[in-house]
């Protein structure tokens, strides 16, 4: 396949769906409840809702929308820290656009911007570094956010800042790691996942080997998946074939993008600049050991956590907000009491309604569409 429309071919989708339905019927007699397949990545969640894939699947398969949206798992306390930095004198705070509207306990970065804080949206950390070059009299802070997908570009930017001797550039690191997250899900007593759709973009960096513990220790299959409709359907079929055969292996459906060994140059840059934190707080999932990274001592002069006074407080979500339950797959987005009412894309109360990769935002945008075909 060479063109994107080939990955959205309705006829091919129908053939794969027929095999999925047949396999689900063959597996189901041994199952007292639907097979639970978690798509870890928020990009998969977005595609599933956008193309109506969930409605095309048999009832014997239940998709669980995982915590793979880095904006969605950002706890309120970290947003408060961002605002505290942005409010300090002579600071230009830079961030990706989808983090602007994530609510803190008092305000979002967007609201801080409206109150005369200099908060700027950028498309890459290199954009933030360019702002630092052009504003030597200001302290420019980049809000580092994302899984291993965005970590290398942040690391390379820090290395570039050091190479150029730029002294007014800082990083507020909130980068997180995927493997401890999946382990925390597997160890959660209130969850049982039969298999995983593995994140394609993260895997492009880390490769296939880090997932092996899922099959060897937890006896669950994982298929690294692309993001087009046929990618996701084929990956689900590969998972069902493993479950039917009683197997638990790590497979790579996204071979056109994901090399088995990952990206060595990206991994080297990440290892040079970052080290694992002892623990990191996640919205809805609590504290997860070794699930975040901080700047190594060699690059500590770029560390915003050392350069600025921040509250660094743990702030509980409002009791009425059920983002945590949605993130863990305990409830579906529409089962939240606030969904589509007090909480909507215009006035989000929870992070899952902010990012396009958030389950609530994706369902709000696409969940009511008719899915007569996949095209």
- Is the Cβ–Cβ distance between 163 and 279 less than 8 Å? no
CA atoms within 13 A on the CB side of 291: 23
**Distance, CA of 235 to chain centre:** 19
Chain-centroid distance, C-alpha 317: 19
Lowest pLDDT segment from 56-60, 201-205, 254-258, 310-314 = 310-314
DSSP string spanning 311-333? -----PPPTT--HHHHHTTSS-G
Question: Mean pLDDT throughout 110-127?
Answer: 96
Instruction: With cut-offs at 50, 70 and 90, classify the pLDDT of residue 8.
Output: confident
Long-range (24+ apart) CB contacts under 8 A made by 53-59 are 53/229, 53/232, 53/233, 53/371, 53/374, 55/371, 56/13, 56/17, 56/371, 56/374, 57/17, 57/20, 57/24, 57/236, 58/20, 58/21, 58/24, 58/25, 59/34
Confidence grade of residue 216 (pLDDT, cut at 50, 70, 90): very high
Q: Is the pLDDT of residue 316 over 90?
A: no
Q: pLDDT value at position 31?
A: 61
Decide if pLDDT at 159 tops 70.
Answer: yes
For the chain, where do the domains classified as CATH 3.40.50.11740 start and end? Answer: 76-176+262-307
d(CA 233, CA 109): 38
CA torsion, ordered 61, 62, 68, 70, to nearest 10 deg: 150
Give the pLDDT band (50/70/90) at residue 276.
very high
pLDDT at 29: 60
pTM: 0.89
Give me the pLDDT at residue 28, please.
Answer: 67
- State how far the Cα of 113 lies from the Cα of 94, in Å rounded to an integer: 11
Measured CA to CA, the distance from residue 307 to residue 309 in angstroms comes to 7
Q: Please check the confidence at residue 295 and state whether its pLDDT lies above 80.
A: yes
Q: Does pLDDT of 371 surpass 50?
A: no
pLDDT at 281 over 60: yes
Q: What is residue 286's predicted lDDT score, i.e. its pLDDT?
A: 82
The CA distance from 101 to 117, in Å, is 14
Structure-model confidence comparison of residues 100 and 3, the more confident one: 100
Asked if pLDDT for residue 372 goes beyond 50, the answer is no
Q: Tell me what the pLDDT averaged over the chain comes to.
A: 90
By mean pLDDT, which of 35-44, 272-281, 339-348 is the weakest? 339-348
Q: Give residue-wise pLDDT tens across range 332-353.
A: 888 888 888 888 887 777 778 8
Residue percentage of the chain with pLDDT more than 90: 65
Distance separating alpha carbons of residues 120 and 236, to the nearest angstrom? 40
Which tens digits make up the pLDDT trace of 64-104? 888 878 888 888 899 999 999 999 999 999 999 989 988 88
Contact between 82 and 105 under an 8 Å Cβ cutoff? The reply is no
Residue with tokens 């305000």: 107
Higher pLDDT: 15 or 104? It is 15
**pLDDT at 21 > cutoff 90:** yes
> How many residues belong to the chain?
375
What's the pLDDT at 375?
40
Which class does domain 1-69+192-201+221-229+249-254+321-375 fall in?
A: alpha beta
Residue 94, classed as helix, strand or coil, is strand
Average the pLDDT over 130-159 and give the result.
97
Q: Does domain 76-176+262-307 bear CATH number 3.40.50.11740?
A: yes
284 sits in the region (left: phi over 0; alpha: psi -120 to 50; else beta) called: left
Contact 284, 323 (CB under 8 A): yes
pLDDT of residue 324: 74
Strands (E), 50-147: 61-68, 91-95, 118-121, 139-146
Closest to 267 (Cα-Cα) out of 199, 312, 341, 209: 209
User: pLDDT tens, 231-246?
Assistant: 999 999 999 999 999 9
How far, in Å, CA of 112 to CA of 110, rounded?
A: 5
């Amino acid at each position: 396949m060479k063109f994107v429309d080939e990955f959205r071919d309705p006829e091919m989708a129908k053939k794969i769906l027929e095999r999925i339905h047949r396999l689900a019927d063959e597996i189901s007699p041994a199952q007292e409840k639907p097979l639970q397949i978690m798509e870890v990545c928020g990009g998969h969640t977005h595609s599933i809702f956008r193309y109506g894939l969930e409605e095309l699947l048999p009832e014997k398969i239940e998709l669980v929308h995982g915590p793979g949206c880095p904006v969605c798992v950002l706890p309120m306390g970290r947003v408060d820290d961002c605002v505290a930095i942005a409010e300090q004198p002579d600071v230009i705070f830079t961030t990706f656009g989808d983090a602007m509207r994530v609510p803190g306990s008092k305000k979002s970065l967007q609201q801080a911007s409206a109150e005369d804080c200099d908060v700027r949206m950028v498309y890459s950390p290199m954009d933030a570094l360019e702002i630092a070059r052009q504003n030597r009299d200001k302290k420019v802070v980049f809000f580092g956010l994302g899984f291993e997908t965005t970590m290398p570009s942040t690391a390379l930017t820090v290395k570039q800042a050091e190479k150029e001797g730029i002294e007014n550039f800082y990083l507020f690191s909130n980068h997180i790691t995927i493997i401890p997250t999946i382990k925390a899900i597997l160890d959660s007593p209130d969850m049982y996942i039969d298999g995983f759709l593995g994140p394609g973009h993260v895997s492009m960096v880390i490769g296939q080997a880090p997932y092996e513990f899922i099959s060897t220790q937890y006896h669950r299959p994982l298929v690294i998946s692309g993001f087009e409709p046929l990618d996701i359907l084929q990956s689900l079929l590969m998972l069902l074939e493993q479950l039917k055969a009683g197997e638990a292996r790590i497979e790579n459906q996204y071979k056109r993008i994901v090399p088995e060994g990952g990206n060595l140059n990206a991994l080297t840059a990440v290892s040079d600049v970052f080290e694992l934190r002892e623990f990191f707080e996640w919205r809805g999932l609590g504290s997860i050991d070794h699930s975040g990274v901080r700047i190594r001592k060699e690059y500590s002069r770029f560390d915003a956590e050392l350069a600025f006074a921040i509250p660094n407080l743990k702030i509980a979500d409002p009791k009425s907000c059920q983002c945590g339950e949605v993130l863990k797959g305990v409830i579906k987005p529409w089962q939240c009491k606030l969904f589509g009412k007090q909480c909507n894309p215009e006035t989000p109360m929870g992070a899952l309604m902010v990012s396009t990769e958030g389950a609530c935002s994706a369902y709000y945008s696409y969940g009511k569409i008719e899915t007569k075909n996949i095209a």
